[in-house]
Structure 1
Amino acid sequence: MNWNIIVTSLPGPGCEYRLLHELRAMGKFHTTEFKDVCMGYVEDVTNFLEAIRQAETDGSPWIKDLGRVIPVEKTFHFIPETLVEQLKEAVTPYVGRISGGTFHVRLERRGLIGQVISPEVERSVADHLFALAEKEGHKVMASFKDADYIVAAETVGHECGVSLLTRDLRQHYSFVKTG
């Protein structure tokens, strides 16, 4: 399936069902094999985020079931042995967008326990971005507290989605956050 959004629901009876019911009015969404995790495709990510923000502002009841939303810029299929190299390739274009300031890499792994070690992947991808930035003469620093940028990688089984979340995006849409 083509997807560009990951949405998690809060745990609890009926939360995922109610959330999925509302999301399906905004795009093509389905549950995954992982509890409280939905994947979807929307035509316009900004309009989708705005619709959720408006529902939040209006106090729509279903918004209480929403955990978080991650818009995804690029997706790919992987096997554990290729994930790091594929992620490095996917995030290489981000170095120009991170041209100054602070960032960190966050991998939310679902499945593949013991096969994909999130901290190792995060460190390897971050080192790759640091090396690229230095090569291009950009000054960047790591920060895990309110970074200017978060490189977000979300795996669902053998599928991975990646995006660059700016501080402005995260502040404007409080539900866009990494796990």
Structure 2
Amino acid sequence: MKDWNVVVTVAENGFKDGFSLLSKYGSVEKTPFRNVLTLKVENIEAFLESFLQDMQANPAYGQVFCRVIPCAHGFFFQTVEAFEEKAKQCIQAFLPQMAHRSFHVRIHRRGFHGTIRSQQEAGLLGDYLDEQLSLQDAADKVTFDDPDVILDVEIVAQQAGLSLWPREQRKRYPFLKLD
């Protein structure tokens, strides 16, 4: 699988149309997972706005795409330990944006069935965030009820991508569907 920075879930029987529609934004790749495509775009912010405009103008987007998630930081890994270590390194970049804000961590996993347990890893990363923010005297609050930010972790086979989504962006881009 090639490098990607967007994970896309398409509706049942939407694979061909999804692949075609996404090709205008960048390099689209199939994955070994049903109804999951990956995309490499040049500029995530530009992609978000362009996709939103196209979705509003073309009703087919709502029928084809279930979930579209760009990822700001990505990495490859082979083991659970490597995943945890690299995810914690990526999280460091998000700490300034998370200070004094409520949050939670979401993991969407495709692959590593029985090896990576999404809820367990989300809890571990949430605890790590809490610890790091406390060390910086940047009090925070874990909440699942409309948090200020959501740290999203997408796993596709042996590659992961992380992104941070403030409430305003979650409202602006309905295709994110984080919860």
TM-score normalised over the length of structure 2: 0.93
Residue identity in the other structure for 1:4: N
CA deviations 1:137-160 (Å, max 9, x no partner) are 111101112111111111111111
> For residue 164 of structure 2, what is the aligned residue in structure 1?
164
> For residue 7 of structure 2, what is the aligned residue in structure 1?
6
| Uncovered stretches (5+) of structure 1, i.e. residues with no partner | none
CA deviations 1:111-137 (Å, max 9, x no partner) are 111111111111111111101111111
Question: Distance between the aligned counterparts of 1:100 and 1:27, measured in 2?
Answer: 36
Question: Distance between the aligned counterparts of 2:151 and 2:101, measured in 1?
Answer: 13
Contact 1:19–1:63 (Cα < 8 Å) also in 2? no
> For residue 60 of structure 1, what is the aligned residue in structure 2?
59
Residue identity in the other structure for 1:75: G
Report the Cα offset of residue 86 of structure 1: 1.6
TM-score normalised over the length of structure 1: 0.93
Question: Distance between the aligned counterparts of 2:58 and 2:23, measured in 1?
Answer: 19
> For residue 92 of structure 2, what is the aligned residue in structure 1?
92
CA deviations 1:41-65 (Å, max 9, x no partner) are 1112122111221122213324311
Contact 1:75–1:162 (Cα < 8 Å) also in 2? yes
| Uncovered stretches (5+) of structure 2, i.e. residues with no partner | none
Q: CA RMSD in A?
A: 1.3
Contact 1:3–1:40 (Cα < 8 Å) also in 2? yes
Residue identity in the other structure for 1:27: G
Question: Distance between the aligned counterparts of 1:71 and 1:61, measured in 2?
Answer: 20
> For residue 28 of structure 1, what is the aligned residue in structure 2?
27
Q: SS in structure 1 opposite 2:147?
A: coil
Residue identity in the other structure for 2:8: V
Q: How many residues matched?
A: 177
Contact 1:18–1:62 (Cα < 8 Å) also in 2? no
Q: SS in structure 1 opposite 2:114?
A: coil
Report the Cα offset of residue 108 of structure 1: 0.7
Q: SS in structure 2 opposite 1:165?
A: strand
CA deviations 1:67-90 (Å, max 9, x no partner) are 111111111111223211221111
Residues 1:51 and 1:60: Cα distance change in structure 2 (over 3 Å): farther
